[in-house]
Structure 1
Amino acid sequence: MKYVIGIDLGTSAVKILLVNQKGEVSDEISKEYPLIIEKSGYSEQDPEEWVAKTEEGLAELIGNFSGNVKDIEGISFSGQMHGLVLLDNNQKVLRNAILWNDTRTTPQCQEIYDKVGRDRLLQITKNPALEGFTLPKILWVQKYEPEVFAKAASFLLPKDYLRYRMTGRLQMEYSDAAGTLMLNVAERQWSKEILEQFQLSPEICPELVESHEFVGNVTSKFAQKTGLSQEVKVFAGGADNACGAIGSGILSEGKTLCSIGTSGVVLSYEERNDLDFAGTVHYFNHAEEDAFYTMGVTLAAGYSLSWYKDTFAKEESFEQLLTGIEEVPAGSNGLVFTPYIVGERTPHADSTIRGSFIGIDASHERKHFSRSVLEGITFSLNESIEVFRNSGKTIDTIISIGGGAKNETWLQMQADIFNSSIEKLASEQGPGMGAAMLAAYGCGWYSSLKECAEEFLSSSKTYEPIPENVEAYKKVFSIYQEVYRQTKEMNERLREFRK
């Protein structure tokens, strides 16, 4: 039996999957690493933590493996998007990586609009200037750490740095490059216009490669530390959302994904590079060659549920917390939650807005609050689905993965709120599986990623919308949409009191 490895470099941990030729997960290792939060709005990590924990995880995985290590033929990657890793001329890291969820760069986003223009930026990059993207981070370092920036010879994104440390070669693939605000997404090349506007040398941008492209073998040093064979082939990989799409079979028109992790994502496959969503949703290169995807984001999806649990039921399991929600009717007896606890992304790119419980009544019990949190998260995701539908897209089947796929009541809620069939995968591994599939395709096991998905993936259950719930949720959703407009100005006034 032959195997591939999918490495998912996340925000809090690296997850490593060993997958066989049938698409079965033979082993799974996860290693956590810390965030560095020096002040409010800052979020950084030491790139050496990624390398050390990946080495540790791979060594454990190889130690568990009873077969011939040379039967592990390929490795590929999924990685957290947008994070800035700056390297000097000797490829040494110059400072901690600034992550996707760092929000210090609001002035730099305005600078981008002032110099490039909002419309021109969308024409080139297909995306608005948001704090999470990479270019604003580069401009922040340029302004506030000029001595560091003066030494910068190149930049990488998190998984690309990890891959560099494994192979000794610098590259970046298109799906992650699309999240930098420096790539011409339609033309699939670095934008000379953007680079010139900010006096950035083209040399700072690494070589661009396809996600399934063979980019080298592991170095002898890395092989020695992990137990991997030096013959194992390394493939470029993809951004976490692109790999999540591959690992869920989102590889043709009409396929849509709902992924609920810390943040929440609604992602739809696109064949064309010329659709115009006016920046309301993200528009990125897919990890499948010559394909694209559009994506709406809820900043605090699963995080809203984790916050709710940690604040009000810290010692309980999620299962205990959600006991009784199936007894509560659609609309939570008039209680509405908005999940804006760290701001919002789609359709409101607003770092100031904050969450609300609206309609609290003396008759409400904890189960009503618990259900309203799930409904609020799902309403936020539905706003992205509405953007897609209003653009003319047909969305009638959605693959649900992540935390939202772990509770039957929540899956039914998604079917009712989205007014769509919801499919739950038989074996859901998300971005890590997408990375493994890129390695399997790169190794030549399959003639296409679609063929690989047919072999690796299957649905276990489908949830259909219940008509009376659909009608009830349409009414509550319209109220939910009003809450943003009604509380925006109040939250701006409350900002001075936040510590």
Structure 2
Amino acid sequence: MEYLIGVDLGTTATKAVLFEKNGKIVASSSQAYPLYRDASGMAEEALEDIFEAVLVTIREVSFNLAEEDELLAVSFSTQMHSLIAFDENWQPLTRVITWADTRAVKYTEQIKNSAEGFEIYKRTGTPLHPMAPLSKLIWLREEKNNIYQRAAHYLDLKGYIFYRLFATNKIDLSTVTGTGLFNIFKLDWEEKALALTQLTKAQLPEVVEPYTIEQGMPHEFAKKMGIQEDTKFVWGAADGPLSNLGVNAIKPGVAAITIGTSGAIRVVTDQPKTDEKGRTFTYALDREHWVVGGPVNSGGDVFRWARDQIFDGKLSYDEITALASKVAPGADGLLFHPYLGGERAPLWDANARGSFFGLNYGHNRSQMTRSVLEGVVFNLYMVALSLIEVVGNLNMIQATGGFTSSELWTQILADIFEQPINVPESREAGCLGAVIMAEKALGIVDNLEVIEEMVGTNRSYEPQVEHFEIYRELAPIFIRLSRALTAEYQNISNFQRRFED
């Protein structure tokens, strides 16, 4: 038998999945690690934690290979927007500064207000936000100048893993399009962005195709992973674009909606497209497939907050959802804006804060919980409206992520979007997408459309008329309210910072 391994370098865990060539899952392994946060907005990870997680998870799934079996390749999906600085001897000067790090918020505002700020977005496709390495680099220069001055090289997380395994200094095309430093039309580093950060091209990695193959790792690492030294490692792509591929959402008008810890809505086009209002991102899957969409901070983490703070952590998610399901759509007129930790799309405002609106004496924890679930979806609906302006109407929606285990939450999605929602069979979309790219790199398949043969529909949800008529009335209120509060987000976040440790 011939097999492939897909590896997903996530924010809170690395996962490895062993697949047959036809996309069937054989085994999976996940290794968690901490995300280090503090009140300043720091969100970092330890390099060694993640590298060790790669070795461990690949070893655990490779145990399922018999001696006569062949491992064709290992391919990667990665979290986007990460940044690591190294000195001239390739000693790391920072941990992994992740997409969730917001310490660059002040410098992001400066970029937005500069003459070239919006032009940089239009050329790079990466919204101006603290998540982007563009902003992080300016923050390093201004607030961690001792690191900035010593930094001779910069890599993303996947680039670091490949550096450890193969001594490379590279970044794949998909991941680099999320840095805010790369011109997505010229497919080269963006000079205006480099000028803002005061970096030189010599400090940046070589950009390679997602189908690039590396071989010949040190014996010690191959032994720890339980695989051959000459095993092919395919670069793969970034997690957002690969999720679209992995759920069979790569045709025009087919949207992928994911709600995990955070969330996103994305559509694939055949060329890069940016938004005249700067609301959406444009990242590459490969040169022929570009993913346009918007990511949200507010997903499952908001539901976790509701469990911990509204219910004191005493009820399970299923028990809480059961209470919410007894409440009518619209939560009896209670709206929730889920911006507990700032927001990316559609606001692109790290100072945004959450709120309940319409709260009265008749509301209890059940209504509050339903409004939290609805608020996350209303927010994604706002992103979808922006996306439609850029790429046209959405004809089909493929839904993935932990939220699909909740029938209530998935039905709310169908009702607010007024469209059928398909839940694909495979929940390992990123890893499956990485494996499909590996098969194309190896010449096993000719194109990515083979995903249609591998991903069926597990179940579907139809919008219910009596529900979406209510949401039609509430959605404009939700949208107008988010705009009305925008002017005060900066003020309330400044006030809150006085009380941070």
Which TM class, normalised by the smaller chain length? over 0.9
SS in 2 for 1:44: strand
Post-superposition shift, 1:386? 0.9
* Closer/same/farther in 2, CA of residues 292 and 466 from structure 1, 3 Å limit: same
Q: Is the 8 A contact 1:43 1:102 kept in 2?
A: yes
CA distance in 2 between partners of 1:94 and 1:454 (Å) = 44
CA distance in 2 between partners of 1:110 and 1:275 (Å) = 20
1:8 is the counterpart of 2:12: no
Q: Is the 8 A contact 1:70 1:229 kept in 2?
A: no
1:372 is the counterpart of 2:367: no
Match of 2:473 in 1: 475
CA distance in 1 between partners of 2:172 and 2:115 (Å) = 24
CA distance in 2 between partners of 1:457 and 1:109 (Å) = 40
Post-superposition shift, 1:283? 1.5
Match of 2:169 in 1: 170
CA distance in 1 between partners of 2:226 and 2:68 (Å) = 8
* Closer/same/farther in 2, CA of residues 134 and 478 from structure 1, 3 Å limit: same
1:192 is the counterpart of 2:191: yes
1:44 is the counterpart of 2:44: yes
> What does residue range 67-82 of structure 1 map to in structure 2 within 5 Å?
67-68=66-67, 71-82=70-81
Q: Is the 8 A contact 2:128 2:348 kept in 1?
A: no
2:453 is matched with which residue: 448, 452, 455? 455
SS in 2 for 1:128: coil
Post-superposition shift, 1:197? 4.2
SS in 2 for 1:129: coil
The superposition leaves residues 412-463 of structure 1 with CA deviations (integer Å, 9 ceiling, x where unpaired) of 2111111112101112212122222222322222111111x02321112222
CA distance in 1 between partners of 2:17 and 2:290 (Å) = 25
Match of 1:249 in 2: 248
CA distance in 2 between partners of 1:38 and 1:466 (Å) = 43
Match of 1:399 in 2: 398
Q: Is the 8 A contact 1:81 1:240 kept in 2?
A: yes
* Closer/same/farther in 2, CA of residues 217 and 439 from structure 1, 3 Å limit: farther
CA distance in 2 between partners of 1:457 and 1:218 (Å) = 33
Q: Which amino acid aligns with 1:464?
A: E
CA distance in 2 between partners of 1:324 and 1:392 (Å) = 38
Match of 2:303 in 1: 305
* Closer/same/farther in 2, CA of residues 20 and 284 from structure 1, 3 Å limit: same
Q: Which amino acid aligns with 1:315?
A: K
Post-superposition shift, 1:111? 4.1
CA distance in 2 between partners of 1:280 and 1:52 (Å) = 37
Match of 2:278 in 1: 279
Match of 1:293 in 2: 291
* Closer/same/farther in 2, CA of residues 170 and 68 from structure 1, 3 Å limit: farther
* Closer/same/farther in 2, CA of residues 144 and 490 from structure 1, 3 Å limit: closer
SS in 2 for 1:433: helix
Match of 1:261 in 2: 260
SS in 2 for 1:438: helix
* Closer/same/farther in 2, CA of residues 163 and 69 from structure 1, 3 Å limit: farther
Post-superposition shift, 1:115? 5.6
CA distance in 2 between partners of 1:373 and 1:438 (Å) = 37
Match of 1:412 in 2: 411
Post-superposition shift, 1:392? 5.9
Post-superposition shift, 1:165? 1.5
CA distance in 2 between partners of 1:352 and 1:38 (Å) = 16
* Closer/same/farther in 2, CA of residues 254 and 88 from structure 1, 3 Å limit: same
SS in 2 for 1:200: coil
Q: Is the 8 A contact 1:13 1:30 kept in 2?
A: yes
Q: Is the 8 A contact 1:118 1:128 kept in 2?
A: no
TM-score using structure 1 length: 0.94
Match of 1:98 in 2: 97
CA distance in 1 between partners of 2:149 and 2:355 (Å) = 45
Match of 1:56 in 2: 56
SS in 2 for 1:376: helix
SS in 1 for 2:160: helix
Comparing 161-170 with 144-153, greater Cα deviation is found at 144-153
Q: Is the 8 A contact 1:412 1:464 kept in 2?
A: yes
Q: How large is the Cα RMSD of the aligned pairs?
A: 1.9
Comparing 216-225 with 164-173, greater Cα deviation is found at 216-225
CA distance in 1 between partners of 2:177 and 2:68 (Å) = 35
* Closer/same/farther in 2, CA of residues 464 and 115 from structure 1, 3 Å limit: same
The superposition leaves residues 131-187 of structure 1 with CA deviations (integer Å, 9 ceiling, x where unpaired) of 010022122222233332233222111122112222222211111101111100122
Q: Is the 8 A contact 1:218 1:233 kept in 2?
A: no
CA distance in 1 between partners of 2:146 and 2:161 (Å) = 25
CA distance in 1 between partners of 2:336 and 2:167 (Å) = 48
* Closer/same/farther in 2, CA of residues 109 and 259 from structure 1, 3 Å limit: same
* Closer/same/farther in 2, CA of residues 68 and 255 from structure 1, 3 Å limit: farther
CA distance in 2 between partners of 1:493 and 1:112 (Å) = 20
CA distance in 2 between partners of 1:443 and 1:231 (Å) = 14
CA distance in 1 between partners of 2:272 and 2:423 (Å) = 29
Q: Is the 8 A contact 1:69 1:228 kept in 2?
A: no
Q: Is the 8 A contact 1:216 1:235 kept in 2?
A: no
Comparing 435-444 with 368-377, greater Cα deviation is found at 435-444
Match of 2:18 in 1: 18
* Closer/same/farther in 2, CA of residues 465 and 216 from structure 1, 3 Å limit: same
Q: Is the 8 A contact 1:258 1:267 kept in 2?
A: yes
The superposition leaves residues 178-218 of structure 1 with CA deviations (integer Å, 9 ceiling, x where unpaired) of 11111001221112343234331111111111112213343
Listed as ranges, the gaps of 5+ residues in structure 2 are none
Listed as ranges, the gaps of 5+ residues in structure 1 are none
Post-superposition shift, 1:489? 4.2
Q: Which amino acid aligns with 1:213?
A: T
CA distance in 1 between partners of 2:68 and 2:159 (Å) = 24
SS in 1 for 2:436: helix
Match of 2:132 in 1: 133
SS in 1 for 2:36: coil
* Closer/same/farther in 2, CA of residues 69 and 135 from structure 1, 3 Å limit: farther
